[in-house]
Amino acid sequence: MAQTETKVLTAHVPLPLAEKVDQMAARLERSRGWIMKQALSAWIDQEEERSRLTREALADVDAGRVIDHQAVQAWADGLGTDTPLPVPR
């Protein structure tokens, strides 16, 4: 297996967070570095997905694929009633 190049990143974190990282590392029998890489990878994936969804939503707006606010409000208001409205499209 080829060795991936690495770079050391340093961050100051609050002690309670650092202690949780250490506890997680001990529980999983992994290194602190492994835990940090997992957490950072998951956060980056989440932010990339959020960015993708935002771009997709903006493209929908640009294309006119939107739902009127009043229609959404009427639908939401009807959710707690005996006769809820269908989801606006």
Identify the sign of the CA torsion 34, 35, 38, 40.
negative
Q: Environment class of residue 24 by beta-carbon count within 10 Å: exposed (0-12), middle (13-18) or buried (19+)? A: middle
Is the pTM higher than 0.75? The answer reads no
pLDDT tens string, the chain, 89 residues long: the values are 678 899 999 999 999 999 999 999 999 999 999 999 999 999 999 999 999 999 999 999 999 999 999 999 999 999 999 999 999 98
- Is there a contact between 28 and 35 (Cβ–Cβ < 8 Å)? yes
